[in-house]
Amino acid sequence: MKIGKYTVLSELGQGASANVYLGEDPFNDRKVAIKVAKTDIDMGEEEAKRFEKLFLNEASLAGKLNHPNIVGVFDAVVEDNERYIVMEYVPGGSLKKFCTETNLLPVRQAVLVIFKMCRALDYAFQNGVIHRDIKPANILLSDRDEIKISDFGTAKISHATHTQIDGFLGS
C-alpha cells in the first residue's frame, strides 16, 4: 500500500480521527510516521471544515518547531480526499504504557523525562506555541530513551486572542 510517495510498512495505531502508519520515504530512505485523517467520519460541512483546520494546525505549528524533544514534521498533504502528515518516526511507543502500577518508570528516568518535556514545552512557548494536550499518549519514548512530544493538533498560537481552531480541544 502507498500513501502518496510513501510505502506503508505497517499500522502503528488508530485514533478517533486518524490512523498512524509506519512508512518509508523513498527519497531519504528513512522510516516515517504517516498520520492519515479519517475521511469517512460522519460530520457536517462546518464540522468537516473545522476538522481540516485542526489537521492543518498540527502540521503548521509542529512543522515550525525544531527541537530534539519535539516530533519533527516533514510533509503535509491536503488534496481532494487525501489528508496526511508525515512525521519523524519514534520507535518505542508512548509513555501511556508506563501508567500502570505494575509498569512505572524508575524515578530517575521519570525526572529526566519531565525535565526534557519542560525544555521542549518552553521552547515551543518561546516560539509562540502552546501545546494544550499534554498527556502520556502524546509523549513518545524512543528506543534510546529519548522523549518526543507529539500531537500538536489542539495547539494554539500564544499571542493570539483565541484558539485558531475554535471548538476543538484535546482529550
CA neighbor of 19 nearest in space, from 48, 50, 41, 46: 41
Alpha carbons 46 and 152: distance in angstroms, whole number: 22
- Compute the Cα dihedral for 121, 127, 132, 135 and give only its sign: negative
Is there a catalytic annotation at residue 143? no
User: Which of 29, 80, 122, 133 does the annotation list as catalytic?
Assistant: 133
17, 37 in Cβ contact below 8 A? yes
10, 22 in Cβ contact below 8 A? yes
DSSP 136: G
Catalytic site positions: 133
